[in-house]
Every structure is written in structure tokens, then in C-alpha cells.
Amino acid sequence: MAPQGLESTGGVVHAFNAGTINISNCNMSNNSAALGGVVYAENSGNIAIIGSHMVQNSAQSGGVVYSGNCGNITITNSSMVNNTAKRGGVAYIQQNGSIVIDQSNMTSNTAEQRGGVAYIHEIGNIVIDRSNMTSNTANSRGGVAYIQQNGSIVIDQSNMTSNTAEQNGGVAYANTETNIVIDRSGMTNNSATNGGVSYIESNGNIVINRSEITSNKATEEGGDLRGAPERQRLSG
């Protein structure tokens, strides 16, 4: 896909009051927009990216995909590398939807503020299943995943390696009324000022089950977890 330089929304695709958006077996690089470096969708259906390679796309919100009051964003069997945004280096949802990353690789994506890979502002879930997240960065919070309020972050059978947040939650950050669940996954060499792996601000739970948590670092509090002790549950 040839480089684009749109100043508004959707560097490649802009959808308003549309149906489902499917991107399959595509390579898209160096596209940019204010919202959604590749795809911008509002009041539309689900967005699916399958078997595709997205490199060096950028936006203020959603380096690859921005969804405003749409359905879900699903990324399957794909790789996302070196995409950037202020919020959501790969994917951003304003409200009412889920970001599902399945059997995919996310590498060296960056959020200047929050959510190195995925950001949801309000009411939604981030699900990472059988995927690898490596060297993603948030200059503020949530090196991989960030939810502002009302949702859940679920990491299942996945590997999180060398992700960083300059402030809180090297892998995952949940602000208000949001739970973090890590199941059968590996967390290695992730870092943040507080909560090298995960950080909950208020009114949420952290559950870690059958996972390997190794060599994560917090420079101030919580090498692996940061949250109220009564809201943390670990099992072997």
C-alpha cells in the first residue's frame, strides 16, 4: 500500500454508518491520519484484520485502527510492527467494543501516552490470546494494554516480553472498574515505575493463574503487580 498522509481520519479506510470492515492478506505501511492510521470507523460494524502485516503506521489515536462507537476490532494471524500513536499504538476504541488479538505478533509499537498496543477509553474488553507482545512501549501507562474504565484485560496463553511503561503497568493498566486476568501466560523482562506487569488504579481485580512471571521490574512499587492486596489473586 502506498504511503498516505491524510490530516483527518482513516489513512486508508474511512467508514461512517457502514457495515463490517474486513482486511485480509494485506501489507500496509507508512499510512497516517489524525485518527486511525489505516482504518477509521464510526457507528459501523465489526473490524477484522486477518493474515496481514502493518508496519510504521501512525495517528493521534489508533496507529492502525480507530473505532468510535462501533463493534469489535479483531486482529488474527497478523503482525503489527513499529506503529505509533499518542493513545493505542495499534488499536483504539472510544467506547462500547472489544479489541481481540488472536495468534498474532505485536512488536515495537509505541504510544506517546497510553496503551502501546491497545487502548479502550470506556466500556470494553481487551483480549490477547495465543499471541506474542514484544518490546512495546507506552511513555505513560500500559505498555501493551490500557483501559480507562469499565472493562477487562484478559491475557491467555500468550507471551509478554520486554514491554515497558514509563509510569504504570509495563504490560497492562486498568484505571477504574476494570479487571486484569492473566492465564497460562509468560511475563518476562517487562518494566514500569509502578507495576512491572500490571497496575490497577481503583475498584478492579488482578487474577494470575498458571503463569510464569520472571525478571519483571518496577523502579518504585510492585515488581510484578500494583494494586490493593485484597484485590490480587494468584494460583499455581
Q: Which domain holds residue 51?
A: 13-227
Contacts of 2 (CB under 8 A, 6+ apart): none
Residue 207 included in any domain:
yes
Cell numbers linked to 28: 500496509
Percent of the chain with pLDDT over 70: 90
What is the rounded distance in angstroms from the CA atom of residue 161 to the CA atom of residue 179? 21
114 with 142: CB under 8 angstroms? yes
* Statement: residue 159 has pLDDT above 90: yes
* pLDDT tens column, 13-31: 999 998 899 999 999 999 9
Residue type at 30 in one-letter notation: N
Query: Residue 33: is its pLDDT beyond 80?
Result: yes
Predicted local distance difference test score (pLDDT) of residue 65: 98
8 inside domain: no
CA distance linking residue 143 with residue 136, whole number of Å: 6
Residue 216, φ and ψ in degrees, nearest 5:
-90, 160
Domains of the chain: total: 1
In a domain? residue 1:
no
Number of H helices, E strands in the chain: 0, 29
pLDDT at 108 over 80: yes
The residue assigned the cell 500490571 is: 198
Query: Could you give the angle at the alpha carbon of 18 between the alpha carbons of 154 and 52, nearest 5°?
Result: 50
Looking at residue 70, what is its pLDDT? Answer: 84
Mean pLDDT of the chain: 92
For 109-136, the pLDDT digits (tens) are 999 999 999 999 999 999 999 999 999 9
Measured from the Cβ of residue 24, the count of other Cβ atoms closer than 10 Å reads 12
Please report whether residue 4 resides in a domain. no
Q: Given a cut of 50, is residue 66 above it in pLDDT?
A: yes
Residue 233 lies in a domain: no
Is 150 inside any structural domain?
yes
